[in-house]
Amino acid sequence: MERALQGLKVLDLSMNLPGPYMTWLLASLGAEVLKVENPQGGDFGRSMGASPEAARLSFDSVNRNKKSLALNLKHVAGREIFLRMLDDYDVVVEGFRPGTMNKLGLGWPELSARQPRLIQVSISGYGQSGPYRLRAGHDVNYLALCGVLAMGGSREDELAIAGVQIADVAGGSLMALSGLMAAVVQRQRTGQGQLVDVAMFDGALSMATKLLARVQAGADEPAPRGMTLNGRYPCYNVYRTSDDGFMSLGALEPKFWQGFCQALERPDLEAGQFGGADVIDEVQAIFASRTCEQWEKFFKNHDVCCEPVLSLEEAVQRPLVAARGMLSKDDQGREFLNSPFKLSASPPLPEGPSPRLGQHSREVLLGLGMSPENIEKLVAEGTLGIGP
């Protein structure tokens, strides 16, 4: 079956989350993704976790349908092999700190001179330029510096860290995917590649574009529960139930708020959609009268945007997840989330296993025309790793 990105060949030097998540999505759409990893340990994600099993599961979740080449790019021979591969691979994804590729002798000027069609996607915390380009950081730091972290939490001056990595994935992985696709389309017209500079800070900040506009207009206060969409008003909030669960209410449009009040037979609340703490307290008292399950059943047939707050374990077992094809099991019975893409003419690939470190090294180098004797020599000198 034809796949959307069939024919796109990617050398993936990235590790941990932003790059591997992005290239997992590419692989699900049919791109050939080859992880280029250090023979000594490979992707740090292979070993990062509270336990070996946690590390394996975490790594496998974002590296399915890929191949692995264990190649030491610090060795001259490894660098030359990488450059030779640019004759066949037209995309490079890397997530090193800016300047690292240059130190390896594989900077953008060298790579683009070797392969003018090359598209290089460089994902970093603060971008390839600017005063923070060499500064270390993680998701929480990017969200802190772009003003997003300051908006989440309670009114009691308690900030909350989101359970998913917003800057890493939305600001990094998905922005990188969008930038790559734009560069691919342009290359089809011009035949020329380009460098795609993706900063997780930039991506996270850009998601606040409407919020900044509302703050400048005086409509929102950029603080916990100070904004329309983070709990300032009764109509868009979370409420505790009698069993210490929570219900999410998103009755933002007037019709949904009116429907909510009518379902509760509380027409007196209709004028309080954007009311203050007194209305929030009144709605909270209503939700506190029943369990989460009872409220879910109550609102099942009401068009009011009111749903239970589920744990991740509860969420993935819901019929909705199965109906959308978002969960699968591997041959060991482990559950993984599937690619979210739904393309009618070119559906994503079935989820396959992640590669063992260096599993495809021999296959790749034989494909380059290298002799078995030369391959064994590279293994002996530490340039190449051959996986089991």
The residues that are catalytic are 138, 168
Determine how many CB atoms are found less than 10 A away from the CB of residue 6.
13
With beta carbons less than 8 A apart as the criterion, state whether 257 and 272 touch.
Answer: no
With b meaning 16 or more CB within 10 Å and e meaning fewer, what string describes 342-364? eeeeebbbebeebbebbbbbbeb
Angle at CA 83, nearest 5°, toward 77 and 86?
145
Q: Write the CB contacts of 28 (distance below 8 Å, at least 6 apart in sequence).
A: 64, 65, 338, 339, 341, 348, 349, 351
With beta carbons less than 8 A apart as the criterion, state whether 362 and 386 touch.
Answer: yes
Question: Rg of the chain over CA atoms, in angstroms?
Answer: 25
What are the Cα distances from residue 126, in Å, to 13, 166, 296?
18, 15, 43
Q: Tell me which residue of 67, 47, 40, 70 sits closest to 358, measured CA to CA.
A: 70
Q: Write the CB contacts of 380 (distance below 8 Å, at least 6 apart in sequence).
A: none
CA distance 274 to 306: 17
Query: DSSP alpha helices (H): ranges in the chain?
Result: 18-28, 52-61, 76-85, 100-103, 108-114, 139-145, 174-190, 200-206, 209-216, 254-263, 277-287, 292-299, 312-316, 319-323, 361-367, 372-380
CA distance 167 to 201: 7
CA distance 138 to 18: 11
CA distance 212 to 205: 10
CA distance 230 to 269: 20
